[in-house]
Structure 1
Amino acid sequence: MPQHLNDTHTKSLYFLLLSLGVSVSVNGQDTKEGKIKTDDIEIIKETKVTLNQANRIFEKIYTNKMSEAKKPIRYEFVERKMPIETPEFSPIVLMPNKTDASNNDYSEKYHNVVRVGIGNYGHTFLEGHGGILTAKDNYHGIYIKHNAFRTGPVAATYSGQSQNQIRVHSRTSFNNVKLDGALGWERRGFDYYAAYIPNIINAPESAFYNSWNKFSFIGNINNINKTAKVDYTFKSNLAYLTSRLKANELVWKGELQGVYPLTEQLSAVLDANVMLSQRQDSTTLYRNLYKLRPTFQFKANTFSVTAGINVVNDREKTTFNNSYLYPVLKVDVQPMEGIKVYAGYEGDVHANTLTSLLSENQWIARFTPLRNTRKLADIYLGGRANLANGLTIEVKGSYASYKDFYVFTNSKADSSRFDVLYSDDTTKVRVTNVSGQVSYQIPQIWKTNFKFDVNMYSNLGNLKEPWHLPFFNATWNNTFTIREKLYVSSDWYVISGLKGKNAQSDQEVKLKPIIDLNLKFTYLLSDHWDVFVSANNILNKSYQRYLYYPTQAVNFLGGMSYSF
């Protein structure tokens, strides 16, 4: 762990370890879980062993009276921090998941599984999860994963990649509190294979290789007393990342959410967020981000109104200390059963760290500058409909302006690596976004989900173009169940409008649209055993998500699973 943490970091980490160190196995009283839930707040559990939760204070303003047999699929419209995130595509293999395929007895019978597989490109795969349910509310488990390609699309071993992960997690409930947390380690290895030039470069593969290790601790404290006056949850995430390029980063994020009902219709909501980070590279950089968002929500039978302010303090030790104040307003209206229309206005500051940037683009160069992105204003309007027969539709449009908006562009010093380029102080980048989602299901037979985003960028200033940001991206996911033995799923991705730039020649390059189709088959041999085959990029398209980094052609993985 890096040395010389300032007092603020030290006190915050001490409080974190003290508050979450009590997560031990304790058998408590049987209680019903409660959960904060507003139209903006949703707490999602990772483990497959979940308890029924009572949404105690804020529920959706509409209700669905359809029978359980025709209940729509779980539907989540994910708010993006900025409209630049894109789905994962090959060569990242998304494994078939029996529990997502059907709600039958088989998917609920076993919580532990071991999967092994092998494929082309020297692909080896191992995934396992084992856990112990010690009491109704207490669960402890371990998860491991190995996913590696010995070779890749360029010069065989010069473009391989690997991922290894171990996570130990625990959940304990007692009295009126539930504690859950996880300790984890993840390692990723990859090559800067865009630098390889056949018959010219004469260097070992290690000259192009990079890797990073991340150690993390996640802890949550949740209120589970359904009758308590105040509902709350506290989340904490401590991560330490170190890379082969001798850069490391320590990040702690804390989040507190609380709800206090003043009357039957009026409630006070408090969101508080803290991020403390220390990045060491050529120099040591201390960065803190504090947010306090108090709001009031008035909820009637057919509408709700949320209003408040977002107070943000963004500081960098010895460099700057800036505070911002943004209004928050959201109106939800239910004109009829199952139909909801909403509109709002807000501003915010989004934290950018070395860890978050690496999760978007692993080929970034050393000494990457770090700045947080300010969303000066975001005006949005949308609607959602939960219709009969499991059909859900949502469409949303927004118009937002940003400062310190960032893009990835090929470095002038080495075009195989990427610099993070921010908009300058005089530029307010404007982004118009139209997004939507359609979900439908025929129970026990077919589930489908289609999402799309259209992004239009203007007033880019010194950025010139939205380098490597898509104009359009869409995903279409399907799962079919055939005679309760065979599960077939498909994932279709489209990303278009990507542009890159060779900074050395000052030449703009329009990248080909990405069209990627993946298929997965799982056949149940018995209650415990199944076999699977996963094929990616079956259209054999040659495309680049980032300039000079082609992806694999058709790649497949076959293997077997044992559930227990």
Structure 2
Amino acid sequence: MRLTRLIYTTLFFITAGILNTRAQDPKTTEKKQEEKAVTEEIEVVRPYKPVLAEAVKLRRSPDLNDVKTYKAKFNYNLTDRKLELNSDINKLQAQQLAAQKEAELINNYVKGALGSAGTVLAEAYVNIGRDEALQAGAFFKHFGQSGSLNKQNANQQQLSIFGRSIGDQVTMTGKLNFQRQGLYFYGVDNARPTFNTDPARQALSFIEAEGEIVNKFTEDPDALSYAAKLNGYVWSDQYKAKESSIVLNAYLNKRISSLNLGLAGSVEFGKTKDVLTSFGNNLLKLNPYIRLQTNGVKINAGINFVQEFGAFSSSRIFPAVTADFTLIPDYLQIFGEVKGDVNRNSLKLLTDENPFLNSNINIKNSIEKLSISGGIKGTGGPGFGYKAKFYHKQIEDMPLFVNNFTDFNKFDVIYDFGTMKLSGLEGEISVQISDALKWTGKLNIEDYKPAAETQSWFKPTMRVSSDFMYAVTKQITFNAAVAMQGDSKAKIYTAAPANPYFTPDLANETVITVKGFIDLGIGASYKINNKFSAFAKANNLFNKKYSKYLYYEAIGMNIFGGISYSF
């Protein structure tokens, strides 16, 4: 036992001595490095003392035994509603817009103007208002001027009353029109200035009534379309000449898919009477046709049957074919036409072209044996349109004006005995850059080849017309118009011609050139407010003493201006 304790005691001391020896054996290199590394002296000013904000301090200890749960109170209101098994889409109800005040409609006006050359202008237009189904109105105009020549006076009056009713099935239109033109035969021959010192007076009166009924368009591919128009007028002059006419036009069309079967017809009853002449000039026209319209192609093929009766009696059949092909929609179309017709000449049409007509005029119809035309038309973009075509006509008994042998300042009507040929080119351009800038222009170049006459009298070979409008501001607008005409030929008798007249006698006539002209006019308007506007216009700015008809000079430069009132 003692031996065991001695052994354990001896081992304990030996172990303790070894551990003490290792603990006291420092490494001299590490001690030297530590002594070199400490080069700064740290001074502790005060010990760190955390400060707790007042907001997070707890005044009391939490109750860890609070295990009570919160129970919310709910109130239920159950609705007894039937379940609808409806899969359809419900219709949305459009929200009603607030009522808007209608814009003030100003579609009536009166205007008046005075100026040089004795210019007097009075004009008025009235309309019943906004109703789209019923429209009615009236128009009145008076315009008069006087030139520097003896009794170079002219005045015109026009009064029109019109109405239109648009129903569920048809549209009805009616018109009453009265026109009067007062003038003098003031023509002057500079080679014989003593002639015509007291020009005779002339007054042309025209009363017209017209009614039309047209059925409304429908999308039905098998729809039946129809229209009818009745027109009648009475014309008279200062002397004994009188003319009356009644024209009835009817149209019937049956649409079958892309085809149209139709019939157009008219009957004209005309009578012309003077002191030494009296003519009954009547026409019956029938035009059955077939029309194809599909995929940019429009072809109308038919015939034109014309029956003359009255003073003349004959029956004729002409072709009536038109075609229109769209190559580029809205940009390029090609069109062509082949037709023929009988054109009824009348004192009304002749005096509209030349009001200085003589008495006892011979009336005869003109036969358009064959008319061929074709060309292109379309648009070149927004606001730009164009049309160009050529035409060739063969006309029998074309009416021409010639100065009377006795009264040189009055015109007779002769007919080019035989078939004359007319070839021409026509071009039109329309440009509208905006509502503030518009321009249109038209050009006609024609070549006449007379039948029996040496020239087509008073028929110019070139005619140009153009209109221009530019709105500088909403208040100020400028406009301009130009008319240009080439030279034409006139015939003067050196001896009295044969009566009745058929063919020319070259030994008894001379040819005079009527020079062409350019007539430029400009105008301006200023909108004072929505009611009042002021305007001014100047005509024949070049002050040319040109003549459309031999011995009749136009009025020189004239300027006039006035005020218009809209309501």
Q: In structure 2, the residue corresponding to 1:367 is in which secondary structure?
A: coil
Displacement after TM superposition at 1:224 (Å): 2.1
The answer to whether the aligner puts 1:194 opposite 2:162 as a matched pair is: no
In the alignment, structure 1 residue 169 sits paired with structure 2 residue 162 = yes
Distance 1:393 1:136 in 2: 32
- Is this contact kept in 2: 1:528–1:562, CA < 8 A? yes
Structure 1 unaligned segments of length 5 or more: list them.
1-104
Task: Work out the CA distance in 2 between the residues paired with 1:395 and 1:202.
Answer: 45
Residue of structure 2 equivalent to 1:446:
437
Which one of the candidate residues 485, 489, 512 is aligned to 2:479?
489
What is the DSSP-based 3-state SS (H/G/I as helix, E as strand, rest coil) of the residue aligned with 1:324?
Answer: strand
Give ranges in structure 2 of 5+ residues lacking alignment. 1-101, 496-508
Q: Does 1:233 align with 2:231?
A: no
Residues 219 and 237 in structure 1, CA contact (< 8 A), matched pair in contact too:
yes
- C-alpha change, 1:344 and 1:170, in structure 2 (3 Å) is closer
- The equivalent position to 2:138 in structure 1, one of 142, 156, 171, is 142
Q: 1:276-287, aligned counterparts within 5 Å?
A: 276-282=269-275, 283-287=277-281
Counterpart in the other structure of 2:505:
none
1:379–1:191 Cα change, 3 Å: same
Q: CA deviation at 1:202?
A: 8.0
The answer to whether the aligner puts 1:414 opposite 2:410 as a matched pair is no
**Aligned partners of 2:246, 2:550: CA distance in 1, in Å?**
33
- In the aligned structure 2, how far is the partner of 1:332 from the partner of 1:498? 35
**Aligned equivalents of 1:309 and 1:153: distance in 2?**
53
Name the CA distance, whole Å, in 1 between partners of 2:173 and 2:153. 36
Indicate whether 1:300 and 2:322 are aligned.
Answer: no
Q: 2:542 aligns to what?
A: 539
Question: 1:8-60 CA distances to partner (integer Å, 9 max, x unpaired)?
Answer: xxxxxxxxxxxxxxxxxxxxxxxxxxxxxxxxxxxxxxxxxxxxxxxxxxxxx
SS in 2 for 1:128: strand
Q: Whole-Å Cα distance in 2 between the matches of residues 312 and 270 of structure 1?
A: 14
**Retained in 2: the 8 A contact 1:166–1:186?**
yes
In structure 1, the partner of 2:426 is 435
Deviation at 1:225, TM superposition (A): 5.0
Paired with 2:132 and 2:193, the residues of 1 have a C-alpha distance of: 63
Q: Measure the CA separation in 2 of the matches of 1:383 and 1:305.
A: 16
> Aligned with 2:187: secondary structure?
helix
Check 1:451–1:288 CA distance in 2 against 1; reply closer, same or farther (3 A cut): same
SS in structure 1 opposite 2:361? coil
Equivalent residue number for residue 323 of structure 1: 315
Aligned equivalent of 2:452, options 459, 462, 482: 462
Cα distance in 1, alignment partners of residues 226 and 487 from structure 2: 43
Q: CA deviation at 1:227?
A: 5.0
Matched with 2:493 is: 503
Equivalent in the alignment of 1:471: 461
TM-score (norm 2): 0.76
SS of residue in 2 equivalent to 1:538 = coil
How far apart, CA to CA, are the structure 2 residues paired with 1:196 and 1:118? 31
Structure 1 SS opposite 2:452: helix
CA separation in 2, counterparts of 1:516 and 1:135? 42
Could you say which residue in structure 1 is the equivalent of 2:243?
A: 249
Shift of 1:235: 2.1
> What is the CA distance between 1:504 and its match in structure 2?
3.3
State the 1:201 CA deviation: 5.3
Cα 1:420–1:313 shift into 2, 3 Å: same
Structure 1 residue 209 corresponds to structure 2 residue 219: no
SS at match of 2:129: strand
Are the equivalent residues in 1 in contact too, given 2:267–2:282 (CA < 8 A)? yes
Q: 2:114 maps to which residue?
A: 118
Q: Does 1:129 align with 2:139?
A: no
> Sequence identity, in percent?
23
CA deviations 1:529-558 (Å, max 9, x no partner) are 100101111111221000110101101220
> Once the two structures are superposed, what CA deviation does each residue of 1:124-167 show, in whole Å capped at 9, x if it has no partner?
11000112137331122221111112x22412xx1101111222
Q: Secondary structure of the equivalent of 1:352?
A: coil
**Pairwise CA distance, 1:270:** 2.3
Question: What is the letter of the counterpart of residue 538 of structure 2?
Answer: A
Counterpart AA for 2:439:
T
What secondary structure, in the 3-state scheme, does the structure 2 residue paired with 1:139 have? strand
Question: Which amino acid in the other structure matches residue 276 of structure 1?
Answer: F
What amino acid does structure 1 have at the position aligned with 2:523? K
Deviation of the 1:409 alpha carbon: 1.2
Please give the per-residue CA displacement for 1:215-235, whole angstroms capped at 9, x wherever unaligned. 111211121253571222222
Q: How many residues align?
A: 448
Deviation at 1:308, TM superposition (A): 0.6
> How far apart, in 2, do the equivalents of 1:109 and 1:463 lie?
57
Residue matched to 2:519: 516
1:390-411 Cα shifts (integer Å, max 9, x gaps): 2111110011111011111111
Give the alignment partner of residue 561 of structure 1, picking from 546, 560, 564.
564
Cα distance in 1 between the residues matched to 2:232 and 2:442: 32
CA separation of 1:225/1:379 partners in 2, compared to 1, >3 Å: closer, same or farther?
A: closer
Please state how far the C-alpha of 1:510 moved relative to its aligned partner: 1.0
Mapped to 2, the partners of 1:109 and 1:402 lie a distance apart of 50
CA 1:200 to 1:398, structure 2 compared with 1: closer, same or farther past 3 Å?
closer
- What amino acid does structure 2 have at the position aligned with 1:541? K
Higher RCO, 1 vs 2 (CA within 8 Å, ≥6 residues apart): 1
Separation of aligned partners in 1, 2:372 and 2:379: 24
Equivalent in the alignment of 1:179: 172
Q: Secondary structure at the match of 2:362?
A: coil
Give the number of the structure whose alpha-carbon radius of gyration is greater. Answer: 2
1:384 CA displacement: 0.7
Conserved 8 A contact 1:400-1:432: yes
